[in-house]
Amino acid sequence: MPINPHACNGPCNKRYRAAVADHDQAVTLYEHALAIHQAVLAAWRIPLPYPAEPALPAPVTIRPYLGDPVWHPGCVKLIWAALDQLDDLASQAQAEVDGHRDAGARYGRTGITAKTHAGSPSPVSDTLDELYGDLVKVEDPWRQARGYRTRPQRARGGPARRASIAFLLDELDGILRDPWSVDFGLNVLAWHHRLSKLTKSDPPTRRSPIRCPRCSERQVSRTDDGYYQCQACEKLMSQAEHDRAHSEQADELDQEVHAS
């Protein structure tokens, strides 16, 4: 079955897209089994009553989160937060590289060895250069589409990256309302995940203390894309939905304590 064309392309519909993919695979297997079933009946002339045909897979009942107009509001907040944190993560990664280079200069056995180590190319620097390239691939056409002046020429590095991110944050509301922003939004989330892994800045624990609003199990964990999911019933929650459930359950606990 086709994906709803109005469905948000963000992580809020991860479970919906997985259900559609599973349904499509089940339909393919059903059609194959039905063809075999009909061929067997024709070949062997099985008398009545015929063996039952394979069952048609049940339709997908999960309702997708719709874009407004392109992204669900929860994903808009997620993309904004991810873009806002990109420079901090990039700066942290660069600082770690610079620290290693300094250490090489101090502890190298000879001046020549230390100098060669300090000037060696860094995969992290290449990664950050790639990040800046992706940012300006969005900044430049957006400036042109909006009639803004051409991006000032900047030497690649931290200041240029920060300037590009600041511009995109200022324009983010308009960008995310444009249909071509799908690739940009997903790319921002991917870069945030990539840099978080690079700097090992993921939170130490992903388990949430709340009970799942659907099944009441305490098996809710934070996912890589910033949402929360119950491992028992697979309910997916945005940060806002999680925080609301956390506040409501805290109030309930407080009322129980005062009542006892």
Model pTM score: 0.68
Q: Name the token pair of 213.
A: 């609003």
Helix, strand, or coil here: 210?
coil
pLDDT, one tens digit per residue, over 205-235 is 577 878 899 998 888 888 877 788 898 898 8
Q: What's the rounded Cα separation, in Å, for the pair 65 and 19?
A: 14
Residue 134 CA, distance from chain mean position: 17
Question: Which runs of E-coded beta strand occur in the chain?
Answer: 220-222, 228-230, 236-237
Q: What's the rounded Cα separation, in Å, for the pair 242 and 239?
A: 5
Place 258 in a pLDDT band, splitting at 50, 70 and 90: low
Q: Name the token pair of 71.
A: 């992204």
Place 48 in a pLDDT band, splitting at 50, 70 and 90: low
Select from 181, 180, 168, 179 the least CA-distant residue to 140: 168
Select from 157, 140, 158 the least CA-distant residue to 149: 140
pLDDT, one tens digit per residue, over 74-127 is 899 899 999 999 999 999 988 876 655 444 433 343 343 444 344 445 788 889
The gap between the terminal CA atoms of the chain, to the nearest Å, is 53
